[in-house]
């Protein structure tokens, strides 16, 4: 089913027409209301009249995470505060969070985008959705909550944590859809095994998982262990929260709701716009948001776009699974390494579990990469010789993929820290 066929299946020419109109009025609006954009536009000599086609967006300035910090907390707000009816904030781990204010129309838009998202992911009104994203300042909890209700499903606001209670609710209330981070889905699977619960015997069938990068191998693990169909959802606080893009049942990229969020891919070093198919940094412009519209926000997320028609009937462009973040990329002895590459290698080797930690250090001016990974119970209780063979296998595969050597430390099952929200995979101890 398609929630808003008029927009989701719009011929691309009409969609572009709509985008240009919306972009023009957005540029006029932020020029008038937000000094930060007015100054940046003046510097470049752009006005609403500069926008004649979607490609003219290239004439507008970029907005960075730093611009959000510089304008903290409410410097980028484009409406009077009395029209702001809710404020969320990012789960930022360093410094001040990103503030996300919403007007009543913004909240309606968000709920609609989440209804589209959940429908696209395969959820319907007869489903029971257990929402294990964190409720609070984080956009995950309330974003999914209102979207689920709009679709007409039964929503259980279980929030994160307390896995045993989550499992009890899944069994007792007949949960069919779980919404949480992919890493938390695996924690639930682990907790189920611990209490001897076979999740395959419950009604659970679908997971709408996101908020952090996860590989195809991790998807396979989740699909086998829970067992469910696992669908990828993407979003970010600066742009909306969840509800920016999601996979359909064909799972060949995440459809971006382009009537509201205009995506571009750029070369992060030069800012040059890249054509469909090329990998680069994802940039978004919000076309319809009121309280805090954003012009060309550089997400630091790395992916590519594909505008080929999809079998599901949606004409919306698809973004590939996020490959990593420009600021996630580790440069180890001069070689670019993404945590997602390490995850793919680990999960392809039998006997190791999808729980790992990447530790980067510098010893005598030389970068050192160490990867800690849990092994399965079976391997751990096996002979030393087998453990050594497994360690060598992981080491060889890792070297083959990354092109640099890494020390591999196999650790006991369940010994690495678990997080209920976004997993923290990398510890970089280098003082650069």
Q: Is 101 left (phi over 0), alpha (psi -120 to 50) or beta?
A: beta
Q: Which is nearer to ligand DLL, 23 or 233 (CB)?
A: 233
Taking the C-alpha atoms of residue 48 and residue 71, their distance in angstroms, rounded to an integer, is 23
Residues β-bridged to residue 209: 180, 232
If we measure between CA atoms, which residue out of 55, 54, 37 comes closest to residue 46? Answer: 37
Alpha-carbon torsion, ordered 127, 86, 211, 420, to 10 deg? -80
Tell the smallest beta-carbon distance from residue 225 to ligand DLL (Å): 19
Q: What are phi and psi of 34, to 5 degrees?
A: -120, 110
Among 264, 301, 343, 374, binds ligand DLL (CB under 6 A): 301
Residue partners of 16: CB distance under 8 A and separation at least 6: 53, 54
Yes or no: say if 65 and 50 are a contact pair by the CB < 8 Å rule. no
Site string for ligand DLL, 253-272 (x = CB under 6 A): --------------------
Site string for ligand DLL, 316-355 (x = CB under 6 A): ------x--x------------------------------
Among 149, 212, 370, 382, binds ligand DLL (CB under 6 A): 212
Contact between 211 and ligand DLL per CB under 6 A: yes
Could you give the angle at which helices 339-348 and 216-225 cross, rounded to 10 degrees? Answer: 50
Among 97, 235, 263, 339, binds ligand DLL (CB under 6 A): 235
DSSP, residue by residue, 195-209: TT--GGGSS--EEEE
DSSP, residue by residue, 200-252: GGSS--EEEEESS---HHHHHHHHHHS--EEEEEEEETTTTEEEEEEE-TT-S
Tell the smallest beta-carbon distance from residue 244 to ligand DLL (Å): 8
Window contacting ligand DLL (CB under 6 A); options: 111-119, 169-177, 227-235, 355-363? 227-235
Contact between 133 and ligand DLL per CB under 6 A: yes
Contact between 25 and ligand DLL per CB under 6 A: no
Residue partners of 196: CB distance under 8 A and separation at least 6: none
Q: Which is nearer to ligand DLL, 140 or 351 (CB)?
A: 140
Contact between 280 and ligand DLL per CB under 6 A: no
Contact between 139 and ligand DLL per CB under 6 A: yes
Contact between 141 and ligand DLL per CB under 6 A: no
Among 299, 315, 341, 357, binds ligand DLL (CB under 6 A): 299
Q: Which residues bind ligand DLL (CB under 6 A)?
A: 90-91, 133, 139-140, 210-213, 232-237, 241-242, 299, 301, 322, 325
């Amino acid at each position: 089913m398609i929630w808003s066929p008029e927009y989701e299946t719009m011929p691309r020419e009409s969609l572009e027409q709509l985008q240009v109109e919306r972009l023009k009025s957005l540029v006029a609006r932020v020029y008038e209301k937000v000094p930060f954009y007015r100054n940046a536009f003046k510097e470049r000599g752009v006005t609403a009249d500069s926008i004649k086609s979607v490609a003219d967006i290239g004439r507008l300035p970029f907005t960075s995470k730093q611009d959000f910090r510089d304008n903290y907390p409410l410097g980028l707000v484009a409406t009077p505060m009395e029209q702001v009816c809710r404020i969320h904030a990012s789960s930022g781990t360093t410094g001040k969070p990103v503030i996300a204010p919403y007007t009543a129309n913004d909240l309606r838009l968000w709920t609609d985008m989440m209804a589209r998202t959940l429908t696209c992911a395969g959820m319907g009104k007869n489903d029971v959705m257990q929402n294990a994203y964190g409720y609070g300042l984080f956009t995950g909890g309330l974003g999914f909550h209102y979207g689920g209700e709009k679709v007409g499903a039964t929503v259980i606001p279980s929030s994160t944590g307390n896995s045993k209670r989550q499992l009890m609710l899944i069994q007792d209330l007949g949960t069919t859809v779980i919404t949480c981070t992919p890493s938390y889905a695996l924690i639930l699977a682990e907790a189920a095994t611990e209490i001897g619960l076979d999740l395959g015997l419950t009604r659970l069938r679908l997971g709408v998982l996101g908020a952090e990068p996860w590989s195809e191998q991790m998807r396979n693990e989740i699909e086998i262990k829970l067992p469910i169909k696992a669908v990828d959802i993407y979003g970010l606080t600066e742009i909306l929260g969840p509800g920016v893009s999601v996979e359909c049942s064909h799972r060949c990229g995440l459809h971006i709701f382009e009537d509201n969020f205009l995506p571009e891919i750029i070369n992060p070093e030069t800012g040059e716009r890249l054509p469909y198919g090329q990998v680069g940094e994802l940039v978004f412009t919000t076309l319809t948001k009121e309280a805090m519209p954003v012009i060309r926000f550089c997400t630091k997320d790395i992916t590519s776009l594909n505008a080929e028609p999809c079998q599901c009937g949606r004409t919306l462009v698809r973004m590939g699974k996020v490959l990593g973040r420009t600021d996630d990329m580790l440069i180890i002895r001069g070689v670019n390494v993404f945590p997602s590459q390490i995850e793919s290698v680990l999960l392809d080797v039998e006997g190791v579990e999808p729980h790992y930690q990447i530790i980067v250090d510098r010893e005598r001016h030389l970068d050192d990469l160490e990867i800690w990974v849990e092994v399965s119970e079976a391997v751990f209780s096996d002979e030393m010789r087998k453990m050594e063979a497994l360690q060598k296998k992981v080491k060889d595969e890792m070297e083959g993929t990354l092109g640099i050597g890494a020390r591999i430390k196999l650790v006991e099952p369940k010994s690495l820290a678990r997080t209920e929200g976004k997993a923290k995979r990398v510890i970089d101890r280098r003082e650069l």
